């Protein structure tokens, strides 16, 4: 076997401004080409993002730029950014380049995959097939996740997005024996460290790949780490053939990294200061998340909502690609309703009687009607008291309050913090319980006895 060719010099550094590196070269490389420089023997990877002229390109550094200087040689990486792949990637904690972050030796790779790639052929794409049960009552009932679909968890800071996404990861591995890929975009080191240890203690790490681009790293790393997670998900889909769960926390930080890069490249900002390429950058990530004849990729994405404004351009751009939208409400959290899902603002494109079945659709609509009527009457109750309502409205309010508390649930991943054992409820049992609430079977049960439990048949802890 012939030895690999020595890297070829493609140009020299002309200017360095933060993570932005301007390169002068006789033959400019194409966009998204991987280049590298080696100041003091340390490899600094660059990605070409913009052509400045016939002999100049502008690249973003994916490592720290300490040591880079004018005149330093820039070498050709030979192609786009690539990561190593192989069956042994399962159970590992990796960075944007596929290098280990868990202190262990690099895994044995069987090939490489590019980060930037087109979506799969349309002829091989597969439509959503069925509901993916999570064991989380409020989600399975009112905004069901779709096997092979994309789900967004929308919410401001501190309303439980990461807890919910972690519980869903645990549920899919335990209930469906699939594999998971977690992409942490701009994660705090504390959050990543806690999540890694939680996954190991829960025993699900052997079937999980975790990829992190931390908050203190270059915007180029935070912009590309989502594609690293997606590349591993595509590899597992195409080789393992099982359901692959792709979890991204947080897509908004992907947009923020793109905005930083756009400003560094000298582009004029667009709506509300976002980059003019916002829609195409979000589409570049989202359109590759698809199912094929080889297997399913089901994606759950946490989306930070700035100032709880659902009309924010970044939120709107992400929402247009999703099948299910789960909105986490600060008002629900303030009432102690966890998970803090707003049942009236959350929705799914699959809320259809032909997809869900007649019974599920009918029960979900009836529960939503009760909760909506209670929401309408809350101001009247606060001002005049519940005695001012008609007998039928009082009955609806009482049942809606019990349903609201029934749709809370203790989670496995926070059981050590809350002291309440986690509960997982099959969808069929959730439908049975909700039908009983709607019939009035539990009208004599205290509201507190409906709160933070699994099924109504389970003993209250």
Q: pTM surpassing 0.95?
A: no
Could you list the beta-strand ranges (E) of 251-356.
297-304, 324-327, 347-348
Q: Which of 168-172, 180-184, 351-355, 442-446 has the lowest mean pLDDT?
A: 168-172
Please answer whether residues 324 and 348 qualify as being in contact, where contact means their C-beta atoms are separated by less than 8 angstroms. yes
pLDDT in tens, 51-69: 998 899 999 999 988 889 9
pLDDT in tens, 237-270: 988 767 788 999 889 999 999 999 999 998 899 8
> Could you tell me which of 126, 132, 135 has the C-alpha nearest to residue 151?
132
> Could you tell me which of 140, 86, 92, 81 has the C-alpha nearest to residue 108?
86
The span from the CA of 411 to the CA of 170, in Å, is: 10
pLDDT higher than threshold 50 for residue 310: yes
Please answer whether residues 96 and 75 qualify as being in contact, where contact means their C-beta atoms are separated by less than 8 angstroms. no
CA angle, residues 183, 188, 193, in degrees to nearest 5: 75
- Report, as an integer, the average pLDDT of 204-231: 92
Answer yes or no: 161 catalytic: yes
Which residue bears the tokens 């889909």? 237
CA dihedral 409, 413, 416, 418 (to 10 degrees): -30
pLDDT higher than threshold 50 for residue 3: no
pLDDT band at 1 (very low <50, low <70, confident <90, very high): very low
- Report, as an integer, the average pLDDT of 367-374: 95
Tell me if residue 93 falls in helix, strand or coil.
strand
> Could you tell me which of 358, 351, 380 has the C-alpha nearest to residue 139?
351
> Could you tell me which of 324, 363, 382 has the C-alpha nearest to residue 164?
324
- Report, as an integer, the average pLDDT of 77-86: 93
Q: Point out the catalytic residue in the list 43, 70, 188, 349.
A: 188
pLDDT of residue 119: 86
pLDDT in tens, 405-435: 999 999 887 877 788 888 889 999 999 999 9
pLDDT band at 41 (very low <50, low <70, confident <90, very high): confident
> Could you tell me which of 126, 122, 47 has the C-alpha nearest to residue 79?
47
pLDDT of residue 128: 73
Tell me if residue 392 falls in helix, strand or coil.
helix
Q: Which of 93-97, 202-206, 307-311 has the lowest mean pLDDT?
A: 202-206
Please answer whether residues 24 and 10 qualify as being in contact, where contact means their C-beta atoms are separated by less than 8 angstroms. no
pLDDT of residue 327: 93
- Report, as an integer, the average pLDDT of 342-347: 92
> Could you tell me which of 133, 79, 114, 144 has the C-alpha nearest to residue 231?
114
- Number of separate helices (H) and strands (E) present in the chain: 13, 16
Answer yes or no: 187 catalytic: yes
Going 365 to 368 to 370 to 373, the CA torsion angle's sign is negative
Q: Point out the catalytic residue in the list 82, 133, 167, 187.
A: 187
Neighbour count for residue 66 (Cβ, 10 Å)? 10
Tell me if residue 349 falls in helix, strand or coil.
coil
The span from the CA of 4 to the CA of 83, in Å, is: 18
Q: Point out the catalytic residue in the list 33, 161, 224, 237.
A: 161
pLDDT of residue 234: 93
Tell me if residue 51 falls in helix, strand or coil.
strand
Answer yes or no: 188 catalytic: yes
pLDDT in tens, 106-162: 999 999 999 998 888 887 777 777 888 889 999 999 999 888 889 999 988 888 888
Structure tokens at 400: 């809606």
Residue 229, H or E segment: helix 219-239
pLDDT higher than threshold 50 for residue 320: yes
pLDDT higher than threshold 50 for residue 2: no
Please spell the DSSP secondary structure of 149-212, one letter per residue. -EEEEEE-TTSSHHHHHHHHHHHHHHHH--EEEEEEEEE-HHHHHHHHHHHHHHT-GGGEEEEE
Angle between helical axes of 358-384 and 391-406 (0-180°, round to 10): 110
pLDDT higher than threshold 70 for residue 5: no
Q: Which of 108-117, 199-208, 388-397 has the lowest mean pLDDT?
A: 199-208
Please answer whether residues 278 and 270 qualify as being in contact, where contact means their C-beta atoms are separated by less than 8 angstroms. yes
Which residue bears the tokens 């997005």? 161
pLDDT of residue 415: 78
pLDDT of residue 200: 82
pLDDT in tens, 265-301: 988 998 888 999 999 999 999 999 988 888 889 899 9
pLDDT of residue 340: 92
DSSP state of 460: P
């Amino acid at each position: 076997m012939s030895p690999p060719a020595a890297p070829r010099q493609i140009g020299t550094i002309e200017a360095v401004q933060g993570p932005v590196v301007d390169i002068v070269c006789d033959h400019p490389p194409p966009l998204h080409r991987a280049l590298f420089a080696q100041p003091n023997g340390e490899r600094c990877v660059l990605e070409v993002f913009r052509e400045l002229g016939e002999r100049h390109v502008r690249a973003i550094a994916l490592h720290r730029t300490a040591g880079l200087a004018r005149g330093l040689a820039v070498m050709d990486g030979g192609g786009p950014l690539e990561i190593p792949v192989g069956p042994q990637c399962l159970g590992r904690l990796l960075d944007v380049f596929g290098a280990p972050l868990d202190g262990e030796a690099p895994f044995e790779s069987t090939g490489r995959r590019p980060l930037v790639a087109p979506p799969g052929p349309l002829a091989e794409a597969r439509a959503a097939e069925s509901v993916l049960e999570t064991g989380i009552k409020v989600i399975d009932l009112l905004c069901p996740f779709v096997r092979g679909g994309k789900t967004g968890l929308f919410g401001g800071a501190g309303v439980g997005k990461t807890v919910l996404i972690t519980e869903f990861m645990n549920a899919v591995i335990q209930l469906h024996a699939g594999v998971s890929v977690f992409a942490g975009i701009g994660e705090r080191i504390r959050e990543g460290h806690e999540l890694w240890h939680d996954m190991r203690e829960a025993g699900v790490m052997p079937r999980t790949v975790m990829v992190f681009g931390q908050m203190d790293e270059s915007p180029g790393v935070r912009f590309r780490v989502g594609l690293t997670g997606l590349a591993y998900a595509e590899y597992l889909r195409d080789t393992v053939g099982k359901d692959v769960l792709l979890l991204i926390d947080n897509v908004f930080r992907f947009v923020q990294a793109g905005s930083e890069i756009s400003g560094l490249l000298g582009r004029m900002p667009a709506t509300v200061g976002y980059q003019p390429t916002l829609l195409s950058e979000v589409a570049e990530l989202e359109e590759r998340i698809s199912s094929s004849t080889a297997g399913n990729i089901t994606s759950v994405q946490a989306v930070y909502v700035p100032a709880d404004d659902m009309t924010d351009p970044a939120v709107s751009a992400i929402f247009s690609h999703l099948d299910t939208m789960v909105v986490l409400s600060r008002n629900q959290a303030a009432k102690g309703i966890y998970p803090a899902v707003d049942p009236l603002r959350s929705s799914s494109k699959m809320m259809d009687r032909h997809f869900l079945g007649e019974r599920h659709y009918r029960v979900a609509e009836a529960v939503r009607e009760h909760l909506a009527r209670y929401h309408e009457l809350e101001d009247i109750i606060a001002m005049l008291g519940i005695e001012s309502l008609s007998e039928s409205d009082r009955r609806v309010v009482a049942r809606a309050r019990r349903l609201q508390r029934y749709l809370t649930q203790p989670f496995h991943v926070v059981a050590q913090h809350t002291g309440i054992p986690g509960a997982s409820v099959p969808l069929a049992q959730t439908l049975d319980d909700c039908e009983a609430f709607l019939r009035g079977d539990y009208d004599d049960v205290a509201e507190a006895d409906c709160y933070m439990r699994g099924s109504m048949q389970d003993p209250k802890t």
